[in-house]
């Protein structure tokens, strides 16, 4: 038995987990006692850990291995019986959720700053997921934060570092450390949900795809599942080796940051299907040849085709989307006669609906799609769902989406981001919008049906969330939504979401920036964007 040491410490301010855990610069996490204080606060806040099993792993970014060694020694000192750690310290966010659920562990710790850049000067993060597999609810994160403010000591064993690179079980101060294959359980779960035989046949008969792992965690998952189990040719997975700094990249799968993939999918001779995932594997972007599928349309199309996938053969219980996500999935729900839920931004709001069996698929405009198979969004799940649909329907991505629009109408949609604007100016802009009496007013060709600041009452636990984004909804169902990002790190980011319903198939091919031009202009005027932020153009358009 290694000696348990109790180390005196003093609180650090600001150890307040956000929506996806505590995210700070590596330099902050690397300070003596900083990580230790937070981990002890977690262990002190989640109930009796004695004899329990914990899942542990991360997205492989800089500081991942160092943090894992510390957490293992602290778990041993705090009485855990066992920690299951992904080989090499690797575990994607959805795989962690799957493993926690499969082995019914006492939750898990995930080390990630999601799509934020990694490296000595970049970001690191840590979050605790509960035994149901999802991120800790606010009651727990608040308890953790409160604990960090009064912490006086933490416990750690004095022992040598554990070998993280060889599978097998070893002992650390009387605790078992089980180094497991981070891909196997997840791949098996995917195999139970999707028609691997049909996808294998599609690849064998020439379906061509590119998956951009962006040098982040999904590399090993995608290589095993797409190239080994499904027989896609070697090289299908691009940037498949996880690197501590993601190859200097920004591992966020969108049209700007996944530019290598966008280029690969452009022009004649390009592959049929392209997809990318983010740092920790929970986001996804879907492309066809010369064709971008918005996350909102992706959710709608997958929901409409769900029964083609064996895991969802019996249909969906409901579809949930975040408020700024387009209403395209609602149209599918209406046709299927199942409920459509509209929640605030943030995956955590889907948890209660999934647990209660009120929804099966959920998704967000912020490149998140998933189902009740885990309690996180799941990038590769979305990719495999698309592959399943492509393999069965034997049509192109563009044909499937345009046929969907013809059947349901198109919710033409775009998001304009103004990044790094002055925080006070951003608050002022929102305040200005909040006060506007707009109901009944005519703006260009549109008449305002109502405007409000979105509030949500969870239908399962009754909890209320206010001020979740300003909506201006027009009589024809068109919509402008204004929100400040909750995940940005520098200044404020204003997001403007613009949507118009187009029933006429002869107009479905029009570029959204053109089709939405009048609403975009209305949004800029209404929010006085240029006057208040000094910006003439958005930083990112998706």
* 376 forms part of the interface with Zn ion (CB under 5 A): no
280 binds, among ligand G6P, Zn ion, none (CB under 5 to 8 A by kind): Zn ion
Q: Which does 364 bind (CB under 5 to 8 A by kind): Zn ion, ligand G6P, none?
A: ligand G6P
Give the whole-angstrom CA distance, residue 434 versus residue 33: 43
Cβ proximity to ligand G6P: between 134 and 173 the closer is 134
- Min CB(64)–ligand G6P separation in Å: 19
The tally of CA atoms less than 13 A away on the side-chain side of residue 74 is 23
Q: With CB cut-offs between 5 and 8 Å by kind, which of Zn ion, ligand G6P, none does residue 411 bind?
A: none
Q: Mapping DSSP to helix (H, G, I), strand (E, B) and coil, where does residue 371 land?
A: strand
CB count within 10 Å of CB 530 equals: 12
Distance of CA 372 to the CA centre of its chain: 14
> Residue 122, Cβ neighbours under 10 Å: how many?
20
- For residue 114, the minimal CB distance to ligand G6P (Å) is 6
Element (DSSP H or E) covering residue 202: helix 196-204
Alpha carbon of 536 to those of 256, 417, 421: distances in Å?
A: 19, 12, 12
Which of ligand G6P, Zn ion, none does residue 20 bind to, with CB < 5 to 8 Å depending on kind? ligand G6P
List contacts with ligand G6P (CB under 6 A): 19-20, 345-347, 364, 366, 368, 485-487, 495
Q: Which is nearer to ligand G6P, 291 or 413 (CB)?
A: 413
CB of residue 246 to Zn ion, shortest distance in Å: 12
Cβ-based nearer residue to Zn ion, 114 or 239:
114
- Identify what 347 binds: Zn ion, ligand G6P, none; CB under 5 to 8 Å per kind: ligand G6P
Q: Are strands 273-277 and 4-8 parallel, antiparallel or unpaired?
A: unpaired
| From 123, 252, 278, 297, residue interacting with Zn ion (rule: CB under 5 A) | 278
The minimum distance between CB 493 and ligand G6P, in angstroms, equals 6
Question: How many binding residues for Zn ion (CB under 5 A)?
Answer: 4
The b/e string for 75-111 (b: 16+ C-beta within 10 A; e otherwise) is: bbbbbbbbbbbbbbbbbbbbbbbbbbbeeebbbbbbb
Nearest distance in Å: CB 345, ligand G6P: 5
Q: Does 282 bind Zn ion (CB under 5 A)?
A: yes
Q: How far is the CB of 478 from ligand G6P (least distance, A)?
A: 21
Candidate list 20, 97, 114, 478, residue with the active-site label = 114
- The window from 80-88, 122-130, 242-250, 281-289 that contacts Zn ion (CB under 5 A) reads 281-289
**Which residues make beta-bridge pairs with 417?**
495, 540
Binding partner selected for residue 278 from ligand G6P, Zn ion, none, CB under the kind-specific 5 to 8 Å limit: Zn ion
Q: Is 252 in the site for Zn ion (CB under 5 A)?
A: no
Give the closest residue to 280 by CA, choosing from 418, 181, 356, 379.
379
| Positions 104 through 133 that interact with Zn ion (CB under 5 A) | 114
Distance CA 320, CA 473 (A): 20
The answer to whether residue 36 forms part of the interface with Zn ion (CB under 5 A) is no
Residue with smallest beta-carbon separation from ligand G6P: 485
Cβ atoms of residues 55 and 132 within 8 Å: no
Residue 280 binds Zn ion, judged by CB under 5 A: yes
Q: Please check whether residue 340 is in contact with residue 363, taking contact to mean a CB–CB distance below 8 angstroms.
A: no
Is 114 a known active-site residue?
A: yes
Please report the DSSP string for 387-452 in residue order: HHHHHHH---HHHHHHHHHHHH-EEEEEEEEEEEE-HHHHHHHHHHHHT---TT-EETTEEEEEEE
Catalytic residues: 114
| Contacts to Zn ion by CB under 5 A | 114, 278, 280, 282
């Amino acid at each position: 038995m290694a000696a348990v040491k109790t180390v005196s410490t003093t609180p650090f301010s600001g150890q307040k987990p956000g929506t996806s855990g505590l995210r700070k610069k590596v330099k902050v996490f690397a300070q003596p006692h900083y990580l230790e204080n937070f981990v002890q606060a977690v262990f002190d806040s989640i109930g009796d850990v004695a004899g329990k099993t914990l899942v542990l792993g991360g997205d492989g970014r800089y500081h991942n291995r160092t943090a894992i060694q510390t957490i293992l020694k602290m778990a041993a000192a705090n009485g855990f019986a066992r920690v299951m750690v992904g080989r090499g310290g690797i575990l994607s966010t959805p795989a962690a959720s799957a493993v926690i659920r499969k082995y019914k562990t006492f939750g898990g710790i995930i080390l990630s700053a999601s799509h934020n850049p990694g490296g000595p000067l970049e970001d690191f993060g840590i979050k605790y997921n509960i035994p149901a597999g999802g991120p800790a609810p606010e009651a727990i994160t608040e308890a953790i934060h409160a604990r960090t403010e009064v912490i006086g000591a933490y416990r750690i064993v004095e022992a040598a570092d554990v070998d993280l690179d060889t599978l097998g079980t070893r002992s650390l101060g009387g605790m078992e450390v089980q180094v497991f294959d981070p891909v196997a359980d997840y791949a098996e779960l995917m195999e139970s949900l999707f028609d691997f035989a049909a996808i294998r046949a599609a690849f064998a008969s020439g379906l061509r795809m590119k998956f951009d792992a962006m040098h982040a965690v999904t590399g090993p998952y995608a290589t095993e599942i797409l190239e080994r189990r499904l027989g896609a040719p070697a090289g299908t997975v691009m940037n498949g080796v996880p690197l501590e700094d993601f190859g200097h990249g920004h591992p966020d799968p969108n049209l700007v940051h996944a530019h290598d993939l966008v280029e690969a999918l452009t022009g004649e001779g390009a592959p049929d299907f392209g997809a990318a995932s983010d740092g920790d594997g929970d986001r996804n972007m879907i492309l066809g040849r010369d064709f971008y599928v918005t996350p909102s349309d992706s959710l709608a199309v997958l929901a409409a085709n769900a029964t083609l996938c064996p895991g969802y053969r019996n249909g969906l219980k409901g579809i949930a989307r975040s408020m700024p996500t387009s209403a395209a999935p609602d149209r599918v729900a209406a046709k299927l006669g199942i409920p459509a839920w509209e929640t605030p931004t943030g995956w955590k709001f889907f948890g209660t609906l999934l647990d209660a069996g009120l929804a099966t698929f959920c998704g967000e405009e912020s490149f998140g799609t998933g189902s009740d198979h885990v309690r996180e969004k799941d990038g590769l799940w979305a990719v495999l769902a698309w592959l399943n649909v492509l393999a069965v329907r034997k049509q192109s991505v563009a044909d499937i989406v345009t046929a969907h629009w013809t059947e349901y109408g198109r919710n033409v949609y775009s998001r304009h981001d103004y990044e790094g604007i002055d925080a006070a100016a951003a608050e002022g802009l929102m305040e200005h919008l909040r006060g506007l009496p707009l109901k009944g007013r005519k703006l260009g060709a549109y008449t305002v049906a109502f405007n409000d600041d979105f509030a949500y009452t969870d239908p399962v636990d009754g909890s209320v969330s206010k001020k979740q984004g300003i909506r201006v909804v027009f009589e024809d169902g068109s919509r402008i939504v204004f929100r400040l990002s909750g995940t940005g790190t520098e200044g404020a980011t204003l997001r403007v979401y613009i949507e118009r319903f187009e029933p006429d198939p002869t107009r479905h091919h029009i570029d959204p920036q053109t089709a939405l031009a009048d609403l975009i202009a209305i949004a800029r005027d209404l929010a006085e964007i240029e006057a208040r932020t000094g910006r003439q153009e958005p930083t990112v358009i998706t």
